[in-house]
Structure 1
């Protein structure tokens, strides 16, 4: 299963620990498990990429499989130009992938969101 991990305000220590685990696996001659992740500094920044309309687009594309821009716009009931803008951004973030035949696809089986709550000061 290919999971896209979306992390918001992930501590640097967590990223370093994940990188360290990969290095240890490689040193031991093991193949590390693939990790696909994107990170955002804040919840508003994450929402600038994963807006409600883009989330609907992502779910529609995932449910219907590889689709052309016109097919996707028709399914969503949106103008092609608006859908293209959203797709361009999602492609830039590696959330959607263009296929050789020009259609677009979601390469992920699941998107996992990690959004920590603020910790109370001691």
Structure 2
């Protein structure tokens, strides 16, 4: 699901950019300038986390498996999602709630069923090793 940056996303691919500590202020400024000029900028989706535990929650293998399964299979509910990944419904529900709290999935409610949904095809993670002054970032070390 994550890309290495060597192959740019296709035109129709929706990319969620996950950043740690700092957002892409240049991209935000470009978007605002385009809006001010009456243009329609390309959609840009970004989550910025300030806690390394949140970033770890995203990249845990079980959560990545859930995200991939939701994107590929578009399950009708939590039970179907659990069946697709061959896991206990309660565990899957807990992980899906965690992903929803992180802003990585939405639930669409249809009667009694909660349908997990992702709006992106790819996740790109930007994890700086140096702070903005070029020094090693030791805040979470």
Give TM class, smaller chain: 0.7 to 0.9
Q: TM-score, normalised by structure 1?
A: 0.81
Taking a change above 3 Å as real, the CA distance of residues 6 and 44 of structure 1, as seen in their structure-2 partners, is same
2:91 to 75, 82, 96: 82
Whole-angstrom CA distance in 2 between matches of 1:7 and 1:46: 9
Report what 2:32 is aligned to: 23
CA RMSD after TM alignment: 2.1
| CA drift at 1:30 | 0.7
| CA drift at 1:118 | 3.1
Please identify which structure carries the higher helix content: 1
SS in 2 for 1:63: helix
2:123 to 93, 111, 114: 111
Q: TM-score, normalised by structure 2?
A: 0.71
SS in 2 for 1:113: strand
2:78 to 69, 82, 87: 69
Gaps of 5+ in 2: 1-12, 136-141
1:47 to 32, 56, 59: 56
Asked if the contact 1:67–1:105 (Cα under 8 Å) also holds between the matched residues in 2, the reply is no
Count of residue pairs brought into register by the alignment: 118
Gaps of 5+ in 1: none
